[in-house]
Structure 1
Amino acid sequence: MASTAHSHPTLKFDRLAIGLSGLCLVHCVATTVFVAMVASAGSMLGAPIFHEVGLSLAMLLGAVALGKGVIDHGFMMPSAVGGLGLGVMAGAMTLPHEGGQEAIYTMGGVMILALGHRLNAIAAD
């Protein structure tokens, strides 16, 4: 009996991870806008703790969802793409906070990670 897309555990993790990636993207854009508009709000949202916690959650959820996908469907490509996205996000944390370079690399990493989760969901289906 084929499993439905709504009940497959890998798909649930991937959908959650894609949602988290979207929230990260919104956070990056909002922070950039707030920094430009209101320095105090921007500095609060741009605090390193937000990035450290967000990256930790992304890595944990990515390891679970992408790792489970490899076990379930046996394809490494989604995990490799997602791992690249996480690596870009982690590398972005080493860049200076000023100038927007960190935000640009973080958003790129988030989009690559979301692609990895989408490929994982497609492979599991």
Structure 2
Amino acid sequence: MESVSSSIRGALDRAGIWLSSLCLLHCLASIIIVSALGLGGQFLLAPEIHRYGLAFALIIAAVAIGWGALRHRKAAPFVTAMMGLTFMGGALAVPHGVQEAVLTIIGVTLVSTGHILNLRAHLPRTH
């Protein structure tokens, strides 16, 4: 049972890293495509994408990092991810544009780092 729960938590951490990476790519691509080519602004910059993305990130982080924190008792993954989620939430409070992109990019980078730290906290220690 221990290995099953560990593999589920690890899979959620990896999903969180991928989700954060996709969000980062979305932010950068949106800025480049919309500003350079003037294409896709209605879809790429839609507020719904950010709201749903944040909700999904919150669920994955709560389960994977919360579960991990209870198991390994290390604060760094939890604190790092929560700071990232706070930045992502702050991005929803500002108008679309550079401020939103910067806050989101900082946020997803921190959330992804939290997931990486969470995965590393579960690695067996070798001396």
TM-based fold match above 0.5: yes
* 1:40 Cα offset (Å): 4.4
**When the two structures are superposed, what TM-score results if normalisation uses the length of structure 2?**
0.87
In the other structure, the counterpart of 1:77 is: 76
Alignment partner of 1:112 out of 101, 106, 110: 110
In the other structure, the counterpart of 2:88 is: 89
Task: Give 4+ residue runs of structure 1 displaced > 2 Å after superposition.
Answer: 7-10, 37-40
Q: Is the 8 A contact 1:35 1:43 kept in 2?
A: no
Question: Over aligned residue pairs, what C-alpha RMSD do you find?
Answer: 1.6
Q: Distance in 1 between matches of 2:59 and 2:22?
A: 16
Tell me the amino acid that sits aligned with residue 120 of structure 1. N
| Mapping of residues 28-47 of structure 1, within 5 Å | 28-47=27-46
* 1:76 Cα offset (Å): 2.1
Tell me the amino acid that sits aligned with residue 9 of structure 2. T
Q: Distance in 2 between matches of 1:40 and 1:93?
A: 22
Gaps of at least 5 residues in structure 1 are none
Q: Distance in 1 between matches of 2:12 and 2:122?
A: 11
Q: Is the 8 A contact 1:32 1:42 kept in 2?
A: no
Q: Distance in 2 between matches of 1:9 and 1:70?
A: 15
* 1:38 Cα offset (Å): 3.5
Gaps of at least 5 residues in structure 2 are none
Q: Counterpart of 2:22 in 1: which secondary structure? A: helix
**When the two structures are superposed, what TM-score results if normalisation uses the length of structure 1?**
0.88
- From the superposition, tell whether residues 34 and 42 of structure 1 become closer, same or farther in structure 2 (CA, over 3 Å): farther
In the other structure, the counterpart of 2:24 is: 25
Q: Distance in 1 between matches of 2:83 and 2:116?
A: 14
* 1:35 Cα offset (Å): 1.4
Q: Counterpart of 1:95 in 2: which secondary structure? A: coil
